[in-house]
């Protein structure tokens, strides 16, 4: 049997050390990917829960009859439930816009789930927003809602609706 000298043992230990480090790096990279996928899945589930929530549905229903580009005065003349609905809409989409910007929520998933709704609601509230910003002296109020709505509007204008674009899709 061949006996290993100290130099050979050191070389074997060095090889084992390199293999251990590379394996650890690969495992860490893999865990990061798994955690990001899990985070995205959690976000999608939370998004779905948000958009199935009754308060948001009621707010959309209330504002649905509002004409596009209604002034703040026109919205307020219809009653306090209209402004409350506008706040629910803007705060819901505000959070979503920031999640998209920070790349926590995927843009394409958000647009598929909410693109039409955020665009429609923005068209109705686009004159109300600057009035609220001025009244509150808060130029950044609902900034991510507006940002998301403008992106969604641009994206939706270039995209065919799912019911026609995917009509031949089979599970």
E strand intervals along the chain: none
Provide the CA 116 distance to its chain's centre, in angstroms: 14
13: in domain: no
153 falls within a domain: yes
User: What pLDDT, in 10s, does the model give residues 14-47?
Assistant: 888 888 898 888 888 889 888 888 887 777 677 6
In a domain, 63, yes or no: yes
pTM: 0.73
Range of the domain at 73: 54-158
Within a domain: 120: yes
Residue 112: per-residue pLDDT: 86
Query: Quick check: is 38 in a domain?
Result: no
Using the Cα atoms of residue 63, residue 67, residue 71 and residue 73 in order, give the sign of their dihedral: negative
Is 75 a member of any domain?
Answer: yes
CA of residue 161 relative to chain centroid, distance: 20
Give the pLDDT score at 1.
45
| Structural domain count, the chain | 1
């Amino acid at each position: 049997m061949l006996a290993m000298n100290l130099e050979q043992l050191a070389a074997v230990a060095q090889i084992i050390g390199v293999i251990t480090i590379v394996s650890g790096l690969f495992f860490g990279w893999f865990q990061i990917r798994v955690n990001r996928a899990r985070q995205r899945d959690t976000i999608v589930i939370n998004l779905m829960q948000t958009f199935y929530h009754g308060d948001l549905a009621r707010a959309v229903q209330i504002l649905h009859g509002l004409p596009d580009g209604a002034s703040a005065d026109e919205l307020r003349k219809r009653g306090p439930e209209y402004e409350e609905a506008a706040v629910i809409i803007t705060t819901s989409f505000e959070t979503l816009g920031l999640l998209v910007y920070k790349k926590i929520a995927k843009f394409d998933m958000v647009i598929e789930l909410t693109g039409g709704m955020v665009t429609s609601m923005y068209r109705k509230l686009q004159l109300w927003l600057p009035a609220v910003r001025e009244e509150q002296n808060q130029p950044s109020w609902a900034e991510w809602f507006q940002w998301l709505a403008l992106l969604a509007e641009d994206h939706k204008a270039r995209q065919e609706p799912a019911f026609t674009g995917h009509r031949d899709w089979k599970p």
